[in-house]
Homo-oligomer: A and B are copies of this chain.
Amino acid sequence: MKLSILFGGASFEHEISIVSAITLKEKLHNFDLNFIFCDGDHSFYLIDASAMKATTFSKGNHKKMPLLTLSNGGFVQKSMFSSTEYKSVVLNLIHGADGEDGTIASLLDFYNIRYIGPRTDASIFSYDKRYTKYFCEARGIGTLPFETQGVNEHKNLSLEYPIIVKPASLGSSIGVSIVKDESALDYALDTAFEYDTNVLMESFIEGVKEYNLAGFYADGKFHFSIVEEPHKEEFLDFEKKYMDFSRVEQVLKADISEELEAKLHASFEKVYSGMFEGALIRCDFFVINNQVYLNEINPIPGSMANYLFQDFPAAIELLALSLPNKTRPKVTYEYIHSISSAKGK
């Protein structure tokens, strides 16, 4: 099947997206793939499959490749006397800003391009961790106690240490610190504020059980990956996560009861339904005293969490064939017509 992998973006996770795209080139080798790179200055380039290696981009060699522009129904490569259209389904693989903040979703919707990835509203509710909290509260999905702080705010923290301090709107552990006591808080806040004007602070529970579950809705039902218990030190720093994004070997299923697996599935459905249709997402959960709490929603997980699926290409194909239809309201001029005719014009 034809598929266009859209990657890059003006994001702190730009390099991670390149790694994800290279990984998917391998995992989806049976697909008829196009690679569309979004540069840091928001130009789009069509990348030849043979050039899909990290140094193409770090050396700026992508700038020698054909420029693409957005057009109704797809990307277009224009030359003096002709133009070539790329109209296949897009897999939005831009992590972080642009890709996960609703921008790319809006662009693709506006230009009537079908895509795998979160829609604009789903992006807003997952990209900024404060809004994920709003969403969970409204839907009755359990999360850990939290507080937020803006860059110009001063607050007395009521959470007990240790806490985890995160920029409100970044993934991949960038700018994240674990703070064991008050003396380390200011430094952690400064670090997080380098990436965002808002931070989120949550209780940090040493040794808490963590489970990751990916999935999507297609063809009238949910399709789940295996449940993974991520190996981790305290948490993955950027460099480890970066390597993590090139994972391809299927991981082992976590050793959990059927009852817990069913609970994780139910929580996933509660997060996904009526919001994330069209996307393959990974939910990271905590389990405390047999209760499930949502940690984070990854609406475009690293390398699409391919390593959690038994048949990843089949999953992508199924989802690509079951994308939501955005119906564009039809424009009419009935009021203007009726007013004009009343005026005798």
Contact = CB atoms under 8 A, between A and B. Distances in A.
Interface of A: 8, 10-12, 14-15, 18, 39-43, 54-55, 57-58, 69-70, 72, 96-98, 101-103, 105-107, 109-112, 120-121, 124-125, 128, 131, 133-135, 137-138, 150, 198, 238-239, 242, 274, 328-337, 339-340, 345
A330 B128 contact: no
A51 to B, nearest CB: 14
Given A102-B106, A102-B120, A106-B110, 4 more contacts: A58-B333, A102-B124, A134-B138, A238-B335
B336 A57 contact: yes
A38 to B, nearest CB: 10
27 contacts: A8-B331, A10-B330, A10-B331, A11-B331, A12-B329, A14-B329, A14-B331, A15-B333, A15-B336, A40-B331, A42-B72, A43-B72, A54-B333, A54-B340, A55-B336, A57-B336, A58-B333, A101-B120, A102-B120, A102-B121, A103-B120, A124-B124, A133-B138, A137-B137, A137-B138, A198-B274, A239-B335
A339 to B, nearest CB: 7
Contact of A120 (B54, B106, B332): B106
A121 B110 contact: no
Contacts of A138: 133-134, 137
A175 to B, nearest CB: 12
A110 B134 contact: no
A15 B107 contact: no
B329 A97 contact: yes
Copies of this chain, whole number? 2
Interface centre among A11, A70, A96, A339 (most CB of B within 10 A): A339
Contact of A134 (B96, B107, B128, B137): B137
Contacts of A339: 54
A55 B106 contact: no
Contacts of A345: 55
Contacts of A96: 329
A107 to B, nearest CB: 6
B150 A274 contact: yes
Contact of A107 (B58, B110, B150, B242): B110
Nearest to A69: B69
Contacts of A40: 328, 330-331
A135 to B, nearest CB: 6
A42 B334 CA distance: 20
B120 A110 contact: no
A327 to B, nearest CB: 10
B18 A336 contact: yes
Nearest to A120: B102
Nearest to A106: B106
A121 B132 CA distance: 12
B72 A41 contact: yes
Contact of A103 (B8, B43, B106): B106
